[in-house]
Amino acid sequence: MARVSQEHLDARRRQILDGAALCFARNGFHATSMQDVLKEVGLSAGAVYRYFSGKEELIGAIVGEVLGSVRAAFEEALRQSPPPPPDELVATVLGAVLASRESLRIDGRPAFPSLVIQVWPETLRNEELAAVLREGYGSVRAAWAKIVEDYQRAGMMRPDIEPDHVARTMIAAVLGFIAQQSLFGPTPVEVLRDGLRALTSMRDDRGPADGAPLG
């Protein structure tokens, strides 16, 4: 028998992951069965179970893949000295993640934002998925914090703020933007970029309020 090439194996795995992501985004994790996934990808049970043991492993693989791509993008930014400004960096990373999943659509709308929304409540019921998310979130947060430290060393950001606080805030902004996409429809990442650019350019030239202590 001819050996199956790695390229073929990778393409089949991609097919299964993308089909499962569409099912989860459309119907949610609990309402999606493995039969739904098999129907979506047009493969036999044996072909799918060769790659994934079941729905739980599929969910974990999808989440881990997304978080891994985000972490890799931030680690790539760390190789620049200094890294791009926060507004540009967020737009570049989020734009790349969205573009890589642009082909996944439900009724003409991108499926990825809805998939992200589906993940959050699932972590309350699925401890294994929650662990995957915690690990991935922690690694992204750590990468962001290192970038903030580079900003501070380069004099691009005030040095008296804890880097992890900035990292958490930037991640919250991205997650909120994705949630808006799921609720209200696609929005260019330039909207988030411009909003962050405006906020980070603010200066506080106000003096102390009347009667306020100075120390």
The predicted pLDDT at position 3 comes to 67
Q: Which residues pair with 133 in a beta bridge?
A: none
pLDDT at site 42: 95
Distance in angstroms between the alpha carbons of the first and the last residue of the chain = 80
The whole-number pLDDT of residue 162 equals: 97
Q: How far apart are CA 191 and CA 181, in angstroms?
A: 11
Residue 206 has a pLDDT of 72
Q: Which residues does the chain have with pLDDT short of 50?
A: 1-2, 211-215
**pLDDT tens-digit readout, 38-66:** 999 999 999 999 999 998 899 989 988 88
* Cα 15 to Cα 38, 47, 68, distances in angstroms: 11, 11, 19
Residue 82 preceded by cis peptide, ω within 30: yes
**What pLDDT is recorded for position 192?**
96
Number of H helices and E strands in the chain, helices first, is 9, 2
The DSSP-derived string for 21-34 is HHHHHHH-STT--H
Residue 83's pLDDT is 87
Summarised one tens digit per residue, pLDDT across range 179-208 is 999 999 999 999 999 999 999 888 777 766
pLDDT on residue 214: 42
**pTM of the prediction?**
0.83
Residue 65's nearest CA partner among 29, 121, 125, 18 is: 18
Do residues 141 and 58 make contact, with C-beta atoms less than 8 angstroms apart? no
CA distance 57 to 61: 6
